[in-house]
Amino acid sequence: MAVRLTLDTSVKYIKGIGEARAAAFSRLGVETVGDLLEFYPRGYEERGRIVPVADTLNGELCAVEITISETSAPRYIRGNLSVFRSKAADESGSMELVFFNTPFMAKSLAKGRRFRAYGRMKIGVRGREMVSPKLEPIVEGKTLPYYVPVYKLAVPLTQKNISSAVAEVLHLCDGIEEILPLEITQNMGLISRGEAIKLMHKPADKKELSLARKTLAFTELAVFRLALSGMRKNIHKEKAFPLKMANTGIKNFFSKLPFELTGAQKRSVKEIFADLEKGTPMARLLQGDVGSGKTAVAAAAIYLCVKNGFQACLMAPTEILAAQHKKTMDKFLSPFGIKTELLISGLPASEKRRVREGIKDGSVNLVVGTHALITDNTEFHKCALAVVDEQHRFGVRQRAALLQKSEIDGSRAHMLVMSATPIPRSLSLIIFGDLDVSFLDELPPGRQKIETKVVSGDDTEKVYSFIRKEIEKGGRAYIVCPLIEESESGDDDRRAAESYYKDITDGALKGIPAGLLHGRMKPAEKAAVMEDFAQGETKILVSTTVIEVGVDVPEATVMVIENAENFGLSQLHQLRGRIGRGKNRSVCVLVNRNGGSDGVERLRIMRDTCDGFKVAEADLERRGPGDFFGERQSGEFSFACAAIGDMSMLGETDLLVKQILADSENPVYTAVFQAADKFLERTGGGLTVN
């Protein structure tokens, strides 16, 4: 018997779903019909923008309307891997469609049939071709959608499964309640929430999509800003141990540093110390570009904490970065008798037990680690300062868990968050709205400016020659690839670290010791590879983006980024920051293979500036919907619709939040307060766990 669907009905009752697909939806956070309607596309394929075949560019993602002229029989090229080609054309020119492992499709591509084909155009020795394009038959009287939504997937769900399920329940959008009073949104030229959700899944054109997303983004930002006001309120209710500078020898600490602090570092230390002296928990972000000296500032705060008789902890997102911090902190702090230990999952069980015992009995003054710091079997003795590096890699819940573990007699640890990811100041108000912010906006004297070059894939031999010359002069080189291994189907021509490593060690750079590093390696293997590179046993490190953050090898003077067009600008800047750490000239080479005109323009931005905040502003201007930092930790907040381009709404949402708080008893605001409460509940209440 068919079940009458409501917003609260389980998705398993939607036609075509059932138990197995419902379980996959559950892994995506979708349990009910209402959840499904708010499971927005992660992007859209603009298939309605038709480009004449002759006008398409190499590497361009585009849609063409073509007629099939000839289809070859499938042939097997190795094992069970099959391939077939279809010739097609429009009035402007001809092209080929190439398909792997889909021999059954050959029959449907009969001569004379018309299709809309969407994919990435390649121009090579055979002319124009699309590999594995998405095809839609062109039928008289039937209008194809301009935008085709693309959803996040979980096995065994397909895009068609999700689109069909959404289509079954889209009519229920009419019953979705408003969060903000409709009068407010209408006065701003926005539409109802239900209508906006409907258009997110099925926009007719750019105007509809823009209006829908703007409506939902404004609501998200308003709820978020209201929730942040609750987070700050909670922070000021908490107690913390005040840390005093008297009798700590802090001046001696600064005098023993091997360098003079910059003005920005001195300003940040002053702000942090002022927070630490209070009886309420510090909640501060230390924001600085690569190489701006955040670790030295954090070390000063840790020194002050330990000399007040407390412990400190530093949590990093990767074991490589944690090990790097352990070494650096030892250099800063061990001369003053401060004992630092490393706690990561890659340690032997006996070593982990030893470190945890030291943390528990207080003999360890500073523990540096990864998520191992917040596991149940890690107990602190008396931790009064928690430092979190690269905050965007952790969710709000991880921060809250760390503070909860370090609670002492009802008092919470002070929290210092560090980030080298350049964030436009307007955006930091949203991402770190529950934190005060200190900016390190100047680099230490002597830091080398990195020269950035943009080259094409045809310049590979020149790049190899340059690497060899730099190594002969005493330098070392990173080579970053977007993939670990090549696609089995052969339809992805992005460079893979494993095959690249084999190519250069057997070919152009043979004889130069090289290492391979990627995320699938065991922690001990990764540590050994990095140590060999740091010590100069290897001169080239072929890697994925696992080296993006925190790796410090002053002798490295070359960074080659393959398929640079596939990376975000801020990520490219992070990778570039792995070089230029010594006294010698450093060069970053961005290899653009399939970027088209847009890719070329993006990489020019990287070539023309080394200022991370300018790069971030450029990223802010160019990006569409989505999270500035990519995927967040499971279970944490991320904006479903609000994008980095929506920061201009902040002023309006802040005014609205002030209006709501001033009239909080008004029943018209009940729904928005409930939404803010749900946010706080979902994220652990920001810096508190109730």
User: What percent of the chain clears pLDDT 70, i.e. is strictly above it?
Assistant: 85
CA gap 497, 484 in Å, rounded: 5
pLDDT at 371: 81
pLDDT above 60: residue 315: yes
Neighbours of 480 (CB within 10 A): 28
Q: Is it the case that residue 646 has pLDDT exceeding 80?
A: no
Whether residue 374 is predicted with pLDDT greater than 90 in this model: the reply is no
- Residue 272's pLDDT band, with cuts at 50, 70 and 90, is very high
What pLDDT, on the 0 to 100 scale, is given for residue 635?
35
**How many CB atoms within 10 Å of residue 66?**
24
pLDDT tens-digit readout, 462-476: 999 999 999 999 999
Q: Answer whether residue 627 shows pLDDT above 70.
A: no
Q: Per residue in 377-426, pLDDT tens?
A: 888 999 999 998 865 445 555 666 666 666 677 788 898 988 876 666 55
Higher pLDDT, 473 or 652: 473
DSSP, collapsed to helix, strand or coil, labels residue 232 as helix
Q: Which residues touch 56 (CB under 8 Å, ≥6 apart)?
A: 62, 64, 121, 123, 128
Q: How confident is the model at residue 542 (pLDDT cuts 50, 70, 90)?
A: very high
pLDDT level of residue 687 (50, 70, 90 thresholds): very low
Q: Is the pLDDT of residue 457 over 50?
A: yes
Model confidence at 630: pLDDT above 60: no
pLDDT at 689: 23
Cα–Cα distance, 425 to 650 (Å, whole number): 12
Mean pLDDT of 346-359: 93
pLDDT at 398: 61
- The per-residue pLDDT for range 204-220, each reduced to its tens digit, is 988 999 999 999 999 98
User: Which segment of 250-254, 523-527, 595-599 scores lowest on mean pLDDT?
Assistant: 595-599
Report residue 618's pLDDT band, with 50, 70 and 90 as the boundaries. Answer: confident
Q: Which of 370, 345, 377 is nearest to 524 (CA)?
A: 345
- Is the distance from CB of 270 to CB of 301 less than 8 angstroms? no
Q: Rounded to an integer, what distance in angstroms lies between the CA atom of residue 120 and that of residue 686?
A: 42
Comparison of pLDDT for 645 and 367, the residue scoring more = 367
Residue 688 pLDDT class (50, 70, 90 cuts): very low
pLDDT for residue 440: 84
Q: Please tell me the predicted confidence (pLDDT) of residue 202.
A: 94
Q: What pTM was estimated for this model as a whole? A: 0.61
Q: What is the mean pLDDT of the chain?
A: 85
- Give residue 677's pLDDT: 85
CA distances from 600 to 83, 102, 152, 575 (A): 32, 34, 28, 18
At position 29, the amino acid (one-letter code) is G
Quickly state the pLDDT bin for 236 (edges 50, 70, 90): low
Q: Of 356, 372, 240, 382, which is closest to residue 688 (Cα–Cα)?
A: 240
Residue 112 has a pLDDT of: 95
For the ranges 66-70, 76-80, 407-411, the maximum mean pLDDT occurs at: 66-70
Average pLDDT over residues 315-343: 92
| pLDDT for the residue numbered 431 | 59
Amino acid, res. 106: A
Averaged over 175-183, what is the pLDDT? 92
pLDDT tens, position by position, 14-62: 999 989 999 999 999 999 999 999 999 988 999 999 999 999 999 899 9
Check whether 628 has a pLDDT greater than 50.
Answer: no
* Averaged pLDDT for residues 672-677: 89
416 versus 566: the higher-pLDDT residue is 416
Rg of the chain in Å (alpha carbons): 28
